[in-house]
Structure 1
């Protein structure tokens, strides 16, 4: 007779339509997808996606899109980013971060003037060779998969832009350098750390990384998974922002009621607006977000549109949010 207790089946989650953007403060050690799935379960959301991978060894801002907001996640993916980075000078590691073994140690004999000059050298448009320990794909396979198998593949340098590097602190005794970096999408901070270390002649690796901004979104307004789990469903829903928060730095175009209805069907509309590559479009009520578009030769041309049901759902969410 088998006395092994039979575990009860896990209760099935009843999904529901959820629309909006959650600013999540991702913890260390968790992949972006794991964080997304945990939040999705807490919201019981039917559809969700994140706006670009944040490394498991990094913490900080990870905007999560639910329902209708997933249509505009590309805008956040393309946006500039900002990070607080900790560099450990004097040590070069496999993979460029704390996870890898030390491959070389060198004495650290640098001045603040040398550090400032090295940071200035990497400000502006630069070329970066993507690291092997990255999610970039080659032949359908992530580079980190090759790296874990001990295989190094050829990579093409990528052009990125470092808008600013500010020195937040330098601890000569611990050989740690604190930097604030504002950069374009696709910038590898671990590669930047290694390159700065080489210019300084002592080598370096990335000892810590926290994303502080994505476009106009700030980690100061983000919520942790632990806090999210403590809230009830209404409390979680109250944290959701409209999809247009990811387009906040785009010009806005407002349409009267009859024009808004036609725009939502995908029709081009005549507008008295100069040509613009990207605009966010609203109905007569400034809170009625309709979608994204561009303006060419006096025509407002739809790009990504909400459905009437999604527009209504977002308006209801706004009314229910205190």
Structure 2
């Protein structure tokens, strides 16, 4: 079995837990995922099956989320899973104040990842260091937020804001919640997070683990074909003779004004793998379907 599974990750499961469960359900050794989700987050977790695990590095990196920010609270993890550092009601905070400041988080922004995160500093993950009592601040990184839309606002002593956020790889939504609260002088933390899109997979098309079990029991489960997740990459077509040479690891000439990573097909239908075009030469990067 090879291809992709668009999994709707449940709450309180790690991404590793999901991979292990899928591996057992499908009785498949080669299973991997793209774009780790925190245990408290739900939503789209792309799962690669079989040889498709070799395609994970070529998936598009854009993501989208629905996030809820709670104001008046700061935690050591920047979400409600952590220890509360400060708790101060802010009933006077209003949506107008937020609308004035939130534009600062759109575009290319500098961001300090949460102290509890999977980022490595000197070979050690920050959450491992934090659990040992050693709090290390991750280096500032530049990330890109394409769009932020305000979905809902709820007044109260600890008011909440629902946002739709579209962003690039490496963006921490917890950090946006924390930094928005800091700018407003109220404190803020992430209280809920659902990933609505990742690597081209959408939440409305996803399967829960229960859905997967049901489809397997009824014999109707079919993985998403491998190249369906790669449609943002340009494609090239090879006739039979050149296709065989390319699959054997040989470089082939390409009279195309295309550069970079491409999908490679034989006779426009059979997906062969991933190549790279340099100086009108197609170089094999990953042969998915060799031709004997």
1:61 aligns with 2:44: yes
1:178 aligns with 2:162: yes
1:206 aligns with 2:213: no
State the distance in 2 between where 1:47 and 1:234 align: 23
Question: Secondary structure of 1:109's partner?
Answer: coil
Larger-Rg structure: 1
More displaced 10-residue stretch of structure 1: 199-208 or 245-254: 245-254
RMSD (Å) for aligned C-alpha atoms: 1.8
Question: Secondary structure of 1:95's partner?
Answer: coil
Provide the residue aligned with 2:213 in structure 1: 229
Where in structure 1 do 4 or more consecutive aligned residues deviate above 6 Å?
A: none
Question: Are the equivalent residues in 2 in contact too, given 1:69–1:242 (CA < 8 A)?
Answer: no
Q: Return 5+ residue gaps in structure 1 as ranges.
A: 1-17, 313-322
Equivalent pairs counted in the alignment come to 290
Question: Are the equivalent residues in 1 in contact too, given 2:145–2:165 (CA < 8 A)?
Answer: yes
1:108 to partner: Cα distance = 4.1
Provide the residue aligned with 2:12 in structure 1: 29
1:246 to partner: Cα distance = 2.5
Provide the residue aligned with 1:101 in structure 2: 83
Question: Are the equivalent residues in 2 in contact too, given 1:75–1:246 (CA < 8 A)?
Answer: no
Q: Return 5+ residue gaps in structure 2 as ranges.
A: none
Aligned ranges 1:283-322 → 2 under 5 Å:
283-286=266-269, 288-308=270-290
Per-residue CA shift, 1:40-64, capped at 9, x if unaligned? 1111113111113111010000111
Give the direction of change, closer, same or farther, for the CA distance of 1:161–1:108 in structure 2 (3 Å limit): farther
State the distance in 2 between where 1:64 and 1:127 align: 30
Question: Are the equivalent residues in 1 in contact too, given 2:215–2:221 (CA < 8 A)?
Answer: no
Question: Are the equivalent residues in 1 in contact too, given 2:64–2:197 (CA < 8 A)?
Answer: yes
User: Which of the numbers 51, 66, 74 marks the counterpart of 1:92?
Assistant: 74
1:117 to partner: Cα distance = 2.5
Question: Are the equivalent residues in 2 in contact too, given 1:122–1:162 (CA < 8 A)?
Answer: yes
Per-residue CA shift, 1:226-256, capped at 9, x if unaligned? 1112233673641x01221231111111111
Question: Are the equivalent residues in 2 in contact too, given 1:281–1:291 (CA < 8 A)?
Answer: yes
**TM-score normalised by structure 1 residue count:** 0.85
State the distance in 1 between where 2:64 and 2:194 align: 9
State the distance in 1 between where 2:214 and 2:160 align: 36
Per-residue CA shift, 1:162-200, capped at 9, x if unaligned? 111111111113611000111111111101110011112
Per-residue CA shift, 1:284-318, capped at 9, x if unaligned? 142x1111122222112221111428xx9xxxxxx
1:275 to partner: Cα distance = 3.1
1:282 aligns with 2:276: no
Per-residue CA shift, 1:87-124, capped at 9, x if unaligned? 11111122111112222123243332321232211101
1:75 aligns with 2:74: no
Question: Are the equivalent residues in 1 in contact too, given 2:212–2:221 (CA < 8 A)?
Answer: no
